[in-house]
Amino acid sequence: MQASISHTEVPWEMEITASCSPAMPPDFDTNMKFKFSILALLLEVIVIVLYGIFVEYDKNFSAMELYPHFQDVHVMIFVGFGFLMTFLKKYGFSSVGFNMLIAAFGLQWGILMQGFWHMKEGKIPINIKSMINADFSTATALISFGALLGKTSPIQMLILTLLEITIFACNEHLVTEVFKATDVGASMTIHAFGAYFGLAAAFVLYRPGLTNKHENDESTYHSDLFAMIGTLFLWLFWPSFNSAIAEGQGAQPRAIINTYYSLAACTIVTFALSSLVDKRGKFSMVLIQNATLAGGVAVGTCADLAIHPFSAMFIGVIAGIVSVLGFQFLTPVMASKLKIQDTCGVHNLHGLPGILGGVAGIIVTAIKRETREGHLLTPSIQTAALGSTLAIAMVGGALTGAILKLPFLGQVSDQNCFDDSAYWEVPEEETVPEIHSSHRDEHSRFEAAM
Amino acid sequence: MQASISHTEVPWEMEITASCSPAMPPDFDTNMKFKFSILALLLEVIVIVLYGIFVEYDKNFSAMELYPHFQDVHVMIFVGFGFLMTFLKKYGFSSVGFNMLIAAFGLQWGILMQGFWHMKEGKIPINIKSMINADFSTATALISFGALLGKTSPIQMLILTLLEITIFACNEHLVTEVFKATDVGASMTIHAFGAYFGLAAAFVLYRPGLTNKHENDESTYHSDLFAMIGTLFLWLFWPSFNSAIAEGQGAQPRAIINTYYSLAACTIVTFALSSLVDKRGKFSMVLIQNATLAGGVAVGTCADLAIHPFSAMFIGVIAGIVSVLGFQFLTPVMASKLKIQDTCGVHNLHGLPGILGGVAGIIVTAIKRETREGHLLTPSIQTAALGSTLAIAMVGGALTGAILKLPFLGQVSDQNCFDDSAYWEVPEEETVPEIHSSHRDEHSRFEAAM
Amino acid sequence: MQASISHTEVPWEMEITASCSPAMPPDFDTNMKFKFSILALLLEVIVIVLYGIFVEYDKNFSAMELYPHFQDVHVMIFVGFGFLMTFLKKYGFSSVGFNMLIAAFGLQWGILMQGFWHMKEGKIPINIKSMINADFSTATALISFGALLGKTSPIQMLILTLLEITIFACNEHLVTEVFKATDVGASMTIHAFGAYFGLAAAFVLYRPGLTNKHENDESTYHSDLFAMIGTLFLWLFWPSFNSAIAEGQGAQPRAIINTYYSLAACTIVTFALSSLVDKRGKFSMVLIQNATLAGGVAVGTCADLAIHPFSAMFIGVIAGIVSVLGFQFLTPVMASKLKIQDTCGVHNLHGLPGILGGVAGIIVTAIKRETREGHLLTPSIQTAALGSTLAIAMVGGALTGAILKLPFLGQVSDQNCFDDSAYWEVPEEETVPEIHSSHRDEHSRFEAAM
């Protein structure tokens, strides 16, 4: 009786621990039983209908030689991105599971959105190359997911994927077909785009309640090892990512070689700086997991150009420096001053290195005369590509974030952020001490009451 | 003294906790020191002798272009199947270890069993394609292992592998050479066959003592993450599995495309239904780990036919529905009413989707005129292939189960099911609380006494 | 006051637990803040300058067909070797992290060291094949790392990598160009070389304080599962390793087939003997993780020769026997009598099977007339190759070990061996009981004081 009276007066954080909390504000109703299912099934039905109308097998099978590249990229999308985000101690199911959900929907949606710009006789032909491009489009949503990790529902992520891939396909068309800029490894159109889209959405979805470090926003020993599975498969197959759609004499081997050496140089620099910025000279797992990959992002735009391996290594070195300094000094400031909460630090892995890649493209086209399919690549074209990408990403991300603020999308409360049990049946751990178990029980009871 | 008197009177479950249990019934002697070693070495010697007599390098090296496909399938067999089964909290060593044992023996045995049907001048030529087929044959034993997981000894599994691959090769010959049916991705000959073979064996090996949920028959947070490694590598490389032996103009890219979209659609539906069937709308790891793969199974039979991507997606949708409903409603009924204990739920991942694949093949050949190497594919041929596969699998599995019931094959007691420590040296965990440690000690003492 | 007096008298092990230990002997100063960073950055600058002067893209792009092989080998180096060493309970970050550091530096350095022996017009051309060879060169340092695991600092490992790859490239030139011996899968030049180099260094770096089993020198349940990720990717892609640089009619498929069957046979034998040598007939994870791979090592030297699959299987059987017996009986003796502490047992996985591979090469060239690019392969040539490899590895390893004994290289004390927290920021574990936590706290305080 007394509990029911005090109900409206206690703050949210206390209410959650009350064993008899009778109702939840609708904004934080994480029960998705019908909402998620209906949305997902509806989207799948729409996709199948659109495939029935528009999609057909490509008659030209020459793209089959790209199949090993495709499989490498495919592993990056599902295993690489998925496990990279498992570093959080209680968010592994969501990281690898929602990553799979986003990617499985995104690769279907991407074919349509990219295909509508390149229809042949009213049809979208699919082959290995267009499947690689669809995997690429999915990467943008997964990068944005990294910024929002732990703070969004699967309903929100499906909507974000739908919108982001649609906007991505427009910007990609603008950059590659209208501007005819070069961006073979997609430093700009995927990495910078995905990062700034996600950061803009994170800005709109700012949670003041997470200003202080959330107790779940940290790793454990084994979650950090799981994340290294993601890091390594991304690192290893990045040369395939940057070279998959390279065309022309020697373009593919150059893209492979440049990416390989950029990553290697970036890795050495990341280890060096990780020790240097730590007060006791120790390595930080978050830097090794992420900043080692920045070299692959930054070399993307000019990966297939004959920039010479030592230039690629130089780009990797700069990327490593930028990424480590970003994680160490910029991310805390962005969270506290700019109200941008970037869970995985995608700004440092994809955002800044993506811009660096765009700038490298501007510099290379300024210094050397490079052509692509007969068109001269100029610094002004590359600058326009970078600028439009950043602008469209930020505006698109902010608008998407505003849509995701709509109530009834299954948002979690601040208290339940970074916790799988909001959306997953989580097994009881036998090695968990009493305090933790009781927390978990309370949690379950609380949600069962919803 | 008193303990020794009470020995014959206490039930088995209590006896195990008595610190001075003096003897074990021979049926549950898990000490394999000589039995397993002699069997394994004997089998290996037999295999080497048979290879010396029958096997030689194929002189035609054109199959080398299949090497990337082969490696993908190889990863599925060892990493995919192996880690998929690590979801049990105390059975990870056995899952990934016995999977490796079964596969390493199976791939040697499969070459012989499949090769005896296709000898050239008394010799079995091996090349990349026949190695892919040998990996395929291994998959049947691994699927059956999934049904029996946690309840059989490595001795039993070696015998099962020997028998199942032998019978599989006969049925495969019947389906593809005699009937000349189509089953490029082996929905029938591998998935349905392996599932119903294993389920029949499980029926014969029924353990009434496991009617109530065994305390070890559950996952932990990290064991579920390890299982996702298996899921993702299976998911990613399934297009290679279904297209590896596809032949003819456009068959391979079609098989890749159809499998890719069937899996993607199946995944969306699995997430949707996983939320829908849960009382609180939460996702279930067991469904995400398994039902997302059903689309790859079900599209197998007609993967290389020009069924159009949207049909492939439709097959994936049905597969997802069937698989989720099977896990949620059928598996409990099968265990309680039909006395079939299916540890991994292979009936829902391989059995039902395999039948669905066979039915899809019947429907497609009824609607469209399809030929294979000049032979017309007809619904009656496809029906015969499906029927013979199911019949041979069930009879073969039941007979094999009867053989595995022979005593002295290293069976575990019900109490020790789903526990690596029956067959493995397991490291002591420092984070294990007292109760658990003492259980483990007792366990070790108990086995040391055997 | 009293603590400060007793400081010089208490043994090291006690000192570490004293909360006010004022100073550390410089030999065990693991704070690498400037030392490591300066060394790593300096090496990277030197490498970039050398690449600027000497390295250029190869104009001949025919090596692109090796790209799938390259990626397989690449996965072995980073995921295979990296995760194989994560078996230690507190050394996962270092295993997979330092493995990445060593490999990222080694693949840059290897191109230069191998390239200097094959310059064309003063330039080192790089293509996929030379990148595979650079990955190979890295493997030697990673094998040696296995012997030294847990006992060396990243500074020491960078120096070892620099020296070992330099010496390796000389020996490789001697074996393949001067002697013109065959060693396609590098049983001798990589596996035996890396193992005996590392063992000689371990002999020089002998730590009497580790004579008794260190409390951290053991696995946990999940660390053993992580290690199986490494084992399986090594096992699966070993055929790519042994066939990557095979040339000539049928050489590549033969190398794939021989390696595949040698591994399969070795695996069966390893399981059989693992049970046989255990007093209770149980399998040992350390044997399954390691000895199953010995077949890949041992078949390396003659992998591409037409030795017949059954001979490959026979080599695999012998390799399995040698490796299991080595782990079981030789490693303990080597540690206690020969003062060689081999953390991962590389002697049993790479050393003995590598010699076995060399001996197999001698026997095969004695029995059959084999030629390579017009040169006759003779037993005397093969013997010279094996002998020179072992001699150069041991002398080189001993000299390198002497250099690594120099103070100020960030060595850990015996007490802190096999513990990530010496070099990494390690997350607090919430499931860790009190005793452990306090140990960790002490640890941190102790190091912060340095």
Interface residue B423 vs chain C (CB under 8 A)? yes
What pLDDT is recorded for position B15?
A: 36
Token look-up 């992520």 returns: A157
How far is Cα A388 from Cα B425, in angstroms, rounded to an integer? Answer: 60
Q: Check if the beta carbon of residue B205 is closer than 8 Å to that of residue B401.
A: yes
Token look-up 């660096």 returns: A356
Q: Can you name the residues that pair with B370 across neighbouring β-strands?
A: B377
Interface test with C, best of B24, B29, B30, B32 (most C CBs within 10 A): B32
What pLDDT is recorded for position C242?
A: 97
Q: Check if the beta carbon of residue A131 is closer than 8 Å to that of residue B284.
A: no
How far is Cα B184 from Cα B138, in angstroms, rounded to an integer? Answer: 16
- pLDDT band at residue B47 under the 50/70/90 scheme: very high
* Chain segment A167-187, per-residue pLDDT in tens: 999 999 999 999 999 999 999
Q: Which chain B residue is nearest to residue C275, measuring alpha carbons?
A: B33
What pLDDT is recorded for position B27?
A: 55
- pLDDT band at residue C7 under the 50/70/90 scheme: very low
What pLDDT is recorded for position B64?
A: 87
Q: Check if the beta carbon of residue A200 is closer than 8 Å to that of residue A401.
A: yes
Select from B325, B233, B237, B228 the least CA-distant residue to B274.
B325
pLDDT greater than 90 at residue C27:
no
Of A250, A271, A282, the CB nearest to C425: A282
Binary contact (B253, A52; C-beta < 8 A) = no
- pLDDT band at residue A114 under the 50/70/90 scheme: very high
How far is Cα B151 from Cα B30, in angstroms, rounded to an integer? Answer: 12
The residues in A 32-51 lying below 8 A from C, measured between CB atoms, are none
- pLDDT band at residue A420 under the 50/70/90 scheme: very high
List chain A residues with CB under 8 Å of C96: 225, 228, 232
Q: Check if the beta carbon of residue A277 is closer than 8 Å to that of residue A303.
A: no
- pLDDT band at residue C446 under the 50/70/90 scheme: very low
Nearby residues of C383 by Cβ (< 8 Å), 6 or more positions away: C362
How far is Cα A435 from Cα B382, in angstroms, rounded to an integer? Answer: 59
- pLDDT band at residue A21 under the 50/70/90 scheme: very low
Binary contact (C78, A235; C-beta < 8 A) = yes
Q: Give whole-number Cα distances, A172 to A72, A393, C128, in Å.
A: 22, 11, 30
- First-to-final CA distance of chain B: 20
How far is Cα B110 from Cα B105, in angstroms, rounded to an integer? Answer: 8
Binary contact (A56, B309; C-beta < 8 A) = yes
Work out the mean pLDDT of chain C and round it to a whole number: 89
pLDDT greater than 50 at residue A329:
yes
Percentage of the residues of chain C whose pLDDT score is greater than 90: 81
Nearby residues of B222 by Cβ (< 8 Å), 6 or more positions away: A92, A222, C222
How far is Cα B209 from Cα A207, in angstroms, rounded to an integer? Answer: 52
Q: Check if the beta carbon of residue A198 is closer than 8 Å to that of residue A346.
A: yes
Helix (H, G, I), strand (E, B) or coil at B55: strand
Work out the mean pLDDT of chain A and round it to a whole number: 89
Q: Check if the beta carbon of residue B302 is closer than 8 Å to that of residue B249.
A: no
pLDDT greater than 90 at residue C57:
yes
Of B264, B285, B433, the CB nearest to A93: B285
A430 membership: H or E segment, kind and range: none
Select from A86, A69, A77, A75 the least CA-distant residue to A140.
A77
- pLDDT band at residue A429 under the 50/70/90 scheme: low
How far is Cα B45 from Cα C154, in angstroms, rounded to an integer? Answer: 46
Q: What is the DSSP string of C111-134?
A: HHHHHGGG-BTTBEEE-HHHHHHH
CA B226 to chain centre: 17
What pLDDT is recorded for position C63?
A: 78
Select from C147, C138, C104, C149 the least CA-distant residue to C420.
C149
- pLDDT band at residue B429 under the 50/70/90 scheme: low
Interface residue C310 vs chain B (CB under 8 A)? yes
What pLDDT is recorded for position B186?
A: 95
pLDDT greater than 50 at residue B445:
no
Task: Show contacts of A325-334: CB within 8 Å, 24+ apart.
Answer: A325/A273, A325/A277, A326/A352, A327/A286, A327/A287, A327/A290, A327/A291, A328/A277, A328/A287
The whole-number average pLDDT for the span A312-340 is 96
Interface residue B363 vs chain C (CB under 8 A)? no
What pLDDT is recorded for position A27?
A: 56
Q: Cα–Cα–Cα angle for B238, B241, B243, nearest 5°? A: 110
Burial C320-350 (b: 16+ CB within 10 A, else e): bbbbbebbbebbeebbeeeebbbbbbbbbbb
- pLDDT band at residue C30 under the 50/70/90 scheme: confident
How far is Cα A311 from Cα A308, in angstroms, rounded to an integer? Answer: 6
Binary contact (B317, A100; C-beta < 8 A) = no
Interface test with C, best of B423, B424, B435 (most C CBs within 10 A): B424
3-state secondary structure string across C219-245? ECHHHHHHHHHHHHHHHHHHHHHHHCC
How far is Cα B173 from Cα B192, in angstroms, rounded to an integer? Answer: 16
pLDDT greater than 90 at residue A11:
no
pLDDT greater than 90 at residue C370:
no
Burial class (CB in 10 A: 0-12, 13-18, 19+), A213: exposed
State the Rg of chain B over Cα: 22
Interface residue B272 vs chain A (CB under 8 A)? yes
Instruction: Kindly tell me the sign of the dihedral angle through the C-alpha atoms of B163, B164, B169, B172.
Output: positive
Q: To the nearest whole angstrom, how far is the Cα of A254 from the nearest Cα of chain B? A: 22
Helix (H, G, I), strand (E, B) or coil at C372: strand
Interface test with C, best of A261, A279, A288 (most C CBs within 10 A): A261
Burial class (CB in 10 A: 0-12, 13-18, 19+), B9: exposed
Burial C119-150 (b: 16+ CB within 10 A, else e): eeeeebbbbbbbbbbbbbbbbbbbbbbbbbbb
Nearby residues of B432 by Cβ (< 8 Å), 6 or more positions away: A431, B440
- First-to-final CA distance of chain C: 20
The residues in A 218-257 lying below 8 A from B, measured between CB atoms, are 222, 226, 229
What pLDDT is recorded for position B248?
A: 84
Q: Which chain A residue is nearest to residue B258, measuring alpha carbons?
A: A57
Select from B168, B211, B159, B167 the least CA-distant residue to B188.
B168
Burial A328-345 (b: 16+ CB within 10 A, else e): bebbeebbeeeebbbbbb
**Lowest-confidence segment of B28-37, B377-386, C105-114 by average pLDDT:** B28-37
Q: Check if the beta carbon of residue A90 is closer than 8 Å to that of residue A216.
A: yes
Binary contact (C282, B425; C-beta < 8 A) = yes
Q: Check if the beta carbon of residue C225 is closer than 8 Å to that of residue B79.
A: no
Interface test with A, best of B86, B222, B266, B438 (most A CBs within 10 A): B222
The whole-number average pLDDT for the span C170-197 is 96
Binary contact (A283, C424; C-beta < 8 A) = yes
How far is Cα C286 from Cα C219, in angstroms, rounded to an integer? Answer: 9
**Lowest-confidence segment of B300-314, B418-432, C88-102 by average pLDDT:** B418-432
Backbone conformation region of residue B126, classed left if phi is above 0, alpha if psi is from -120 to 50, else beta = beta
Token look-up 């209908």 returns: A49
Of B33, B49, B51, the CB nearest to C276: B33
Interface residue C437 vs chain B (CB under 8 A)? no
What pLDDT is recorded for position A428?
A: 77
Of B40, B67, B93, the CB nearest to C285: B93
- pLDDT band at residue C19 under the 50/70/90 scheme: very low
Chains adjacent to A (≥3 CB pairs closer than 8 angstroms): B, C
- pLDDT band at residue B26 under the 50/70/90 scheme: very low
pLDDT greater than 70 at residue B13:
no
What pLDDT is recorded for position A30?
A: 78
Higher local confidence (pLDDT), A12 or B44: B44
Binary contact (A236, C75; C-beta < 8 A) = yes
What pLDDT is recorded for position C17?
A: 38
Q: Which chain B residue is nearest to residue C284, measuring alpha carbons?
A: B425
What pLDDT is recorded for position B408?
A: 87
pLDDT greater than 60 at residue A444:
no
Q: How many CA atoms lie within 13 A of C208 on its CB side?
A: 0
pLDDT greater than 90 at residue A29:
no
Q: Can you name the residues that pair with A219 across neighbouring β-strands?
A: A88
pLDDT greater than 70 at residue C43:
yes
Of A272, A273, A310, the CB nearest to C48: A310
- Give percent helix, percent strand, percent coil of chain B, each to the nearest 5: 70, 5, 25
Percentage of the residues of chain A whose pLDDT score is greater than 70: 89
Select from C247, C260, C258, C235 the least CA-distant residue to C84.
C235
What pLDDT is recorded for position C448?
A: 35
Q: Check if the beta carbon of residue C191 is closer than 8 Å to that of residue C143.
A: yes
The residues in B 70-129 lying below 8 A from A, measured between CB atoms, are 72, 89
The residues in C 315-334 lying below 8 A from B, measured between CB atoms, are 317
Number of other CB atoms surrounding residue C442 within 10 Å:
15
Q: To the nearest whole angstrom, how far is the Cα of C377 from the nearest Cα of chain A? A: 34
Tell me the two tokens of residue B295: 């689309």
Interface test with C, best of A218, A266, A280, A434 (most C CBs within 10 A): A280
* Chain segment B382-409, per-residue pLDDT in tens: 999 999 999 999 999 999 999 999 988 9
Q: Check if the beta carbon of residue A154 is closer than 8 Å to that of residue A410.
A: yes
Tell me the two tokens of residue C311: 């001979």
- pLDDT band at residue A448 under the 50/70/90 scheme: very low
Q: To the nearest whole angstrom, how far is the Cα of B52 from the nearest Cα of chain C? A: 5
Tell me the two tokens of residue A431: 């090695």
